Each structure stands twice: as structure tokens, then as C-alpha cells.
Amino acid sequence: MKLLDTKQQDLWSYLKNSSAPVALYGTGDGADKVITVLENNRLADRIKAVFASDGFVRNRTFRGFKVESFDEARARLGDGMIVLVCFGSSLPKVLDNIERISKICETLIPDVPVCGDNVFDSAFAEENEDRLWRVYESLEDDISRECFRNYVNYKLTGRMEYLTASETPDDEKEMLKSVLPDTCFLDLGAYNGDTVRRYMGLLPDASGAVAVEPERHSYKKLCAVCEEYGGKVTPVHALISDHSGEGVMTSSHGRGSRSGKITGAGAGINSVKTVPVHLESIDSLMDGKRAGFIKFDVEGAELEAIRGGRETIKKHGPILMVSCYHRSEDLFVLPEEILGIRSDYRMYIRRSRCVPGWDAGYWFVPKT
């Protein structure tokens, strides 16, 4: 079965070949990013409406458009309009509403990178098809191969059927079953402590944990969660990187804070002030201690984080969960980097239900 039909139209080419009016669903940073790609493809004049969910319409404008409800946009443009979903959510109520809209109007979910400049269009897919194939052929199970195949085709076309087909079962507990007792785990991008709680529950035999979070508001909440474990979990106020030292980051008062070196933050909610931040690498944090599991969800700095943990990964071979949705190239660059450090990993990909194609991550489990 062919992984990619590079002759099929990507989403942006499809819009060029359609005469239907375009309505954007969403008014935040995601909409800004979609508008930028539309502008780069000379499609900005196709936007005829911007609408929000009921309860979020209010009396406001966005990028020169009056924010409407779906029903108002539909009344003006008709059922033949193309809806582009321009925000992220995993809330069942929101996903159900997108499904409802898709039964009325053609609805596409553009894949625009969270950070970085590479858009996953036909040119990008064709240029990197060999690398994508090598990753596909290295995946360990049928679930991963089906997820990957559908995920790649979703990123290219923005079509909901591919995105839905890329969802996988929640088998995180199974992935973690071989974590050695009396090893610690690292939660990189710990946010407000939600994942600390999850992994402390899944890894009751862990000797301890280190939770790293750079954004000060989230870090304060993280510290409160860490206190629940009586000193077993150490919070670290730092940005994970490939070295230790001082740097800057963009701050968004929550998830989305990232290194100031990372481009593609958009013109919306993530385009905020830069603040100084302490940098830490995995190797400096571990300082020889044995890590049994490392979670990477560091807003586009995954590659730098991996490189800063090279000695830890090479020496101990911890189980790794690496988010792969922030940059278009993450799908192949991150596996190449990790398997270049250690080739004795079994590699899986898993993705939970949400729009757009976020919450996708590789699992690297040592061969036994």
C-alpha cells in the first residue's frame, strides 16, 4: 500500500482549484497561522467569513472580519462554503460540534506547524518522502503503521477522515510496563503537574521524578502538585535545551511557552514578550542518575532536548515518549536523531483524539 500519493492535491492546492467561499472557524493564534499560509498561497481573498462557537461570538472583529456565528455565516454564504477549523481542542463537546458542521458544509482542518516555517504541503511531502518511508518501515506494529499512514495523509490534505483514522488506543500503561523499578522519570514540559500525577500513578515503583517547566505561572502550580509527593518529585524551573546556561523564551502564561530561538509563533496569542530563562539539559539534570522514562513535550524544542540527553539515552536506554506534532519535520527528524543514538529501540507512534493533529507522539521502548 502506497504511503503517500504525492500526486493528490494538498489542502492549499485544493482551495486554489475551488471557487467556494472560505469561512474560518476560530479567532486565535491558529487562525492567524492559517491566514498566513493562505496569504503565502495568494488565497487570502477567498476568506469571506470568520465565525466562533456559540457563546464566543460577542460584538467583536478579527483581522477585519466581524465575528459571526456559524448560522450567520451559513445564511450569508450558503451550505457550499468551505469551513477551515483554526483552533485546537480535545473537548468532546467541541469535537461533536465540528462533526455537526461537517455534515452541513465541507469542513477541513489545516495542518499548520505549531512552530517552525515548514508547511506540510505536496512539495514538502515529495521532498521528504524517502525519509517518511524509512520511518514507516521502522515502526513496530500495525497500529503504528496505520496511524502514521493516515496521519501523514491528514497533514497533507487536512481531511477529517484521515485525522479520525489516525487515532489509536490508549495503551500508555502497556508502553511503560518495562520501566525498571528504582529508576526515576523526567517530565519535560510538566505544565501544571497534570502529567506528573498521571505518571506517578502509572509508575508507583519509580525512585523519584524530575519535572521541568519554564513558565512561571505553570511552575507555581507544578510546585504545589510536587509537594503532594513528599519530596519524591523535584520541580525544576527551567527551559530544557541541548546545554545548560541562560537564554530567553516567549511566554504565553501556560502551554505554548518556548525558546526564543524558535520561529513560527504566529501573530496571535503566542506573539508575546520574551523573558530570560534558565536552561537545563537532560544530561546535566541526571548527572549520572538512571532514568527509566523520559517524556518530551517541549513546544518544538524536542530535537534540542534529545541532543542534550544524548549521554543519558546512550548509557541507560530509558523508555522515551516524544511529541512529534510541533514541527512538520518532527515526523522524521526526531526518530532519525534517537535511533542514531541507539538503534536498539522498538518504535511506535500513538495519537489521541483531538483537532488538529496534535497529541501525537513516538514511543521508543528498548528491545529485551
226 located within any domain: yes
Q: Across residues 164-185, what is the average pLDDT?
A: 95
135 located within any domain: no
Give how many domains the chain has, as a whole number. Answer: 2
- Measuring CA to CA, which residue among 147, 196, 197, 203 is closest to residue 175? 203
Q: Which three cell numbers stand for residue 77?
A: 454564504
Q: What is the CATH number of the domain that holds 290?
A: 3.40.50.150
Provide the percentage of residues in the chain whose pLDDT is more than 90.
Answer: 87
List beta partners, residue 66: 61
Split at pLDDT 50, 70, 90, the class of 8 is confident
274 located within any domain: yes
Q: Based on the fold, state whether residues 340 and 191 are members of the same structural domain.
A: yes
292 located within any domain: yes
Q: Which three cell numbers stand for residue 183?
A: 529508576
pLDDT in tens, 221-251: 999 999 999 999 999 999 999 999 999 998 7
Q: Based on the fold, state whether residues 179 and 316 are members of the same structural domain.
A: yes
Give just the sign of the alpha carbon dihedral 153, 154, 157, 160: positive
pLDDT in tens, 328-339: 999 999 999 999
Split at pLDDT 50, 70, 90, the class of 304 is very high
pTM of the model: 0.93
Q: Based on the fold, state whether residues 195 and 343 are members of the same structural domain.
A: yes
Q: Is the pLDDT of residue 263 over 50?
A: no
Q: Based on the fold, state whether residues 224 and 355 are members of the same structural domain.
A: yes
Q: Is the pLDDT of residue 42 over 80?
A: yes
Split at pLDDT 50, 70, 90, the class of 261 is low
At 134, which amino acid appears?
Answer: R
Q: Based on the fold, state whether residues 67 and 203 are members of the same structural domain.
A: no
Q: Is the pLDDT of residue 80 over 60?
A: yes
Longest dimension (CA), the chain: 64
15 located within any domain: yes
Q: Across residues 354-368, what is the average pLDDT?
A: 95
Distance of CA 220 to the CA centre of its chain: 24
* Residue with more model confidence, 274 or 95: 95
Q: Is the pLDDT of residue 220 over 90?
A: yes
334 located within any domain: yes
Position 368 scores a pLDDT of: 75
Peptide bond into 21 cis (omega under 30): no
Q: Across residues 71-95, what is the average pLDDT?
A: 97
CA-atom Rg of the chain in angstroms: 21
List beta partners, residue 363: 321, 348
List beta partners, residue 108: 84, 159
117 located within any domain: no
Position 91 scores a pLDDT of: 96
pLDDT in tens, 115-135: 999 999 999 999 999 999 999
| Phi, psi for residue 360 in degrees, rounded to 5 | -105, 135
Q: Across residues 56-60, what is the average pLDDT?
A: 92
Where are the strands (E) in the chain, listed by range? 22-25, 47-51, 61-62, 65-68, 82-85, 106-108, 184-188, 208-212, 233-236, 239-240, 245-250, 258-259, 274-280, 291-296, 319-323, 345-351, 360-366
Split at pLDDT 50, 70, 90, the class of 271 is very low
Position 252 scores a pLDDT of: 60
**541541548: which residue's cell?**
242
Q: What is the CATH number of the domain that holds 72?
A: 3.40.50.720
Give the Cβ contact number of residue 333 at 10 Å.
Answer: 18
Domain that holds residue 196: 172-366
Q: Is the pLDDT of residue 266 over 80?
A: no
Q: Which three cell numbers stand for residue 112?
A: 499548520
- Measured CA to CA, the distance from residue 112 to residue 22 in angstroms comes to 17
Q: For every residue of 2-19, which 3-state class applies, written as one string?
A: CCCCCCCCCHHHHHHCCC
| Phi, psi for residue 13 in degrees, rounded to 5 | -70, -40
- Measured CA to CA, the distance from residue 215 to residue 255 in angstroms comes to 8
Position 55 scores a pLDDT of: 87
DSSP letter at 159? B
Position 119 scores a pLDDT of: 97
Split at pLDDT 50, 70, 90, the class of 268 is very low
152 located within any domain: no
Domain termination site, one of 93, 110, 127: 110
Split at pLDDT 50, 70, 90, the class of 203 is very high
